[in-house]
Chain A
Amino acid sequence: MRYIARRLVIYAITLWAAISLNFLLPRLLPGNPADIMIAKLSRRGDVSDAQLESIRRLFGNPDASLWQQYLDYWGQLFQGDLGTSVQFYPSSVSSLIGSALPWSIGLVGVATVLSFIIGISLGMFAGWKRGTWVDHIVPSTTLLQSLPYFWVAMVLIYFFARENEWFPRTDGYDIWTFNNTEWSWAFAGSVIYHGILPAITIIISSVGGWLLGMRNMMVSTMGEDYVVTAEAKGLKKGRIMRTYGARNAMLPSIAGIGVSLGFVVSGFVVMEQVFSYPGIGKLMIEGVEGNDYALMQGVFLVITLTVLAAMFITDLVYGLIDPRARQNA
């Protein structure tokens, strides 16, 4: 219990700091961002009253003290009010995020879990086969890890959507057949079909990390005395590999998958842009391109909260599966 309480306090402070940073960021940047923004907008045409209002609300009333602005910010936050988007006026930022979030979580979440399963299995095998030819292949996974993931996306598009038109190039579903998202088998099929290339991108660029981490832990674990004991007892090889080796070697990877799932929303921002995938990443870039500070801040907040929540859950789970973590805290 003490463990959980202690973690809770740390997370509460982190949460407060992250939200405060989110509040301060536009105000800390050089120049008066509100003025810069109004200037930018008016260069493109007339600034509507609504936009001015949105900007003023975002940066707070310039006459009020910073402290007052800070309190107002928290007040709005507690009402779930993230402001109004300038780019997609008059949509509210929360509704925009709400419609983009499922796309990111669905695609990146599924792909991350797949990548984890593949990587852990291969890593377990590579660790088990230590001292054989497999050792020479393992370092080559570093090449996979070093690929810029959005470039992988471009290459996949080039080979599998342009040279061979097997997969669609962009979007999360067939926008010509379906006017809007709907609950039907045909739509689900379209979503899966459009998700294949993005998912492969994610798997290619993240599987190497899981493999390498698992392999190294597996190699260390197989050297432990209890594994030797298990061998001496004459247990079946499969049992030693899975129950004695992999189960223990997996602990750091489980912490890793928790953190990775936290970055589901934000980890593949640029890839979403390449595929024009309607997720949080694309929304954020659109906010950036349109100087939509309210949208940017809102997306940023959601991303931070997701990471924080995922880390917290991982912490709890880790405490459950590894008693040592409980004791050390």
Chain B
Amino acid sequence: MPDLLTHAPDPVDPGEAADAREDERHIKRHVNGKFLIGAAVLTFMILFAIFGPMIAQFDPRISGDNPVLAPPDSTYWMGTTSLGHDVFSQMATGARTSLLIGVIAGLIAVTLSILFGVVAGYVGGVTDEVLTLIIGVMLVIPGLPLTIVISSAVPGRSGLLVAVILGITGWAGAAVVLRSQAQSLRNRDYVAASRIAGENPFRVIGVEVLPNLLPLLTGQFLFGVIFAILGEAGLSYLGLGPTGSISWGTILNDANSGYALQSGAWWWFLPPGIAVALVGMSLALINFAVDEVINPKLRSAPLEARRLRKAKAEKKAIAKADKQAAKDEKKAEAQA
């Protein structure tokens, strides 16, 4: 494969440098593309949560004399439920509940995963063994059933309580990832230097270790939020979510018990799921971009493959041109 050899960096060739620049631009555009779409969708959903309830025309809890099961029109933007509640108003109010629960639970999960994962990986020894065991137990105990059991036993759940329940059942996976990363950071020279300099362990973890875990923490936090929003939706669908509040999950629960499927009221059960999926997708896209920052291979490999393909195509084109030239020459000779 001769093109593999010529593929080696050859900075004197101005054409290739230009290619590299173009590829570089392409990377940036590519990464930013994912990040931008994710950030735009997320911003839209957050704005919807903030301003939605203000622009909503109806009280989400009062049906008044609204028509029942009206399809979406200019008055009822997302139609009405079987009890005459305005779906748009419910979606807007639900956005606040769902997003807040997601963020709080995500924060709790990340904090716990730092407490267990980072400390276990960094301190090592017996502490590591004990903490790893706790992480292992939490990993094995399935989150949703545990959440269901706890929620069912606690009457009168506030949104905060649901967030706490989701947070304390959903941190183990992140802790495993953080632990192995902290373990590898622990052996880096600059961390060792800081330790030898006599810094106290909290400062070493806080100043030397945590900042280097930041990209990873961001990813785990984003997944924690997705997990919590999905979890809340599931719990609420079962009627075990926050009592008395409206969330995207409770709308689905209402839709189910109000026979939305049977009466063909798609405007009732489609929006909550789409909203959850959009938030999840936006967070996952942002995480995608973060992933490509912390794992250069994900960035460079497609790029190299693209370069290689381009080189091959060029080689083919040159060969073709050569052949054509040879043919033309022959033709010219024959004519002469």
Contacts and interface: CB of A to CB of B under 8 A. Distances in A.
A binds B: yes
Interface of A: 10, 13-14, 17-18, 21, 25-26, 29-30, 33, 130-132, 135, 139, 142-143, 145-148, 150-152, 154-155, 157-158, 162-163, 216, 219-220, 222-223, 228, 231-232, 234, 263, 266-267, 269-270, 273-274, 284-285, 288, 291, 296, 299-300, 303-304, 307-308, 311
A218 B22 CA distance: 25
B136 interface: yes
Interface string B260-299: 0110101001101100111111011100100100010110
A254 B58 CA distance: 51
Interface in B16-44: 30, 34
B228 interface: no
Given A130-B305, A284-B148, A158 B284 contact: no
Q: Which are the 10 A-B pairs with shortest beta-carbon distances?
A: A146-B280, A151-B273, A131-B305, A142-B284, A131-B306, A131-B302, A130-B302, A143-B281, A288-B152, A266-B142
Contacts of B148: 269, 284-285, 288
Contacts of A216: 291, 295, 298
Secondary structure of the A contact surface, majority rule: helix
A88 to B, nearest CB: 17
Interface in B223-266: 226, 230, 233-234, 237-238, 240, 252, 255-256, 261-262, 264, 266
B285 A142 contact: yes
B162 to A, nearest CB: 15
Interface of B: 1, 4, 30, 34, 133, 136-137, 139-142, 144-146, 148-150, 152-154, 226, 230, 233-234, 237-238, 240, 252, 255-256, 261-262, 264, 266, 269-270, 272-273, 276-281, 283-285, 288, 291, 295, 297-298, 300-306, 309
A185 to B, nearest CB: 31
A311 B149 CA distance: 23
Contacts of B141: 18, 21, 304, 307
A30 B142 CA distance: 22
Contacts of B304: 131, 223
Contacts of A220: 295, 297-298, 301
